[in-house]
Amino acid sequence: MPSPIGHSITGIIFLVLWRRLRHWRELLQYWREGILFILLADLPDIDLFNPSEKMFDLYSPHHHGEIHTFAFAFFVALVVTGLNSYRIKKWNWKLWGWAFAAISSHIVLDLFFSNSTTPPGMPIFWPFLKERIILPIHWYYYWEKSDIFSSTNFINGVGEGVVGTTLIALILWRNSKKRKR
Ligand SMILES: [Zn+2]
């Protein structure tokens, strides 16, 4: 799994793409949606807060289970869009699509780390296919699972921050060029 930093930035990237934002300050206007997209992109890891187990236990056999699946993303996006449509009295398919994309981004990113979890892989196509999917390629860095707050993990988190922020900057720049035409 990428850290919450990587997942959160990915959520913001989907908001920037959806709203075609051109500048960092426009993100402030969309702060509510920003918080929503950060929560959505991190949501599958809610299984690390299991009251009956050790918190943040990446070794837990329950981590990378049924809520790291596209079915979960589909369902949560429906709930979010349903709540929103209740408020504005209109169904917003775009919100559904982008919310689904934000949650799915978590699943896709985690796949690159899923060789090393216990058990390996993730049942991403559950309930249609119960097999756990494992990618043949692995991410270029690893996480210290025994000590979440280790210096290695800190450096990885900073790396994700730098790469993610650069990506957002590039998309903002591309959007600003497009609108000027
Ligand atoms: Zn995860």
Average pLDDT over residues 70-96: 95
Q: Strand, helix or coil at 27?
A: helix
Euclidean distance between CA atoms 167 and 173, whole angstroms: 10
Query: Is the overall model pTM greater than 0.75, yes or no?
Result: yes
CA of 113 to the centre of ligand 1 (A): 9
CA distances from 169 to 16, 17, 25, 141 (A): 10, 12, 12, 23
The answer to which of 33-37, 81-85, 90-94, 146-150 has the lowest mean pLDDT is 146-150
pLDDT (tens digit, 9 = 90+) per residue, 52-71? 777 667 777 788 889 999 99
Confidence at residue 140, expressed as pLDDT on a 0 to 100 scale: 58
Euclidean distance between CA atoms 78 and 84, whole angstroms: 10
pLDDT (tens digit, 9 = 90+) per residue, 118-159? 788 899 999 999 999 988 887 756 777 777 788 888 898 999
| Higher-pLDDT residue of 116, 6 | 6
The mean predicted confidence, pLDDT, of the chain is: 89
CA of 9 to the centre of ligand 1 (A): 14
Please say whether the beta carbons of 10 and 106 come within 8 A.
yes
Task: Collect all residues with Cβ–Cβ distance below 8 Å to 61 and sequence separation of at least 6.
Answer: 118, 119
Question: What residue type is 137 in one-letter code?
Answer: I
Euclidean distance between CA atoms 139 and 172, whole angstroms: 26
CA of 58 to the centre of ligand 1 (A): 9
CA of 109 to the centre of ligand 1 (A): 8
CA of 64 to the centre of ligand 1 (A): 6
Neighbouring-strand partners of residue 133: 122
Euclidean distance between CA atoms 40 and 56, whole angstroms: 18
Number of residues assigned to the chain: 181
CA of 107 to the centre of ligand 1 (A): 7
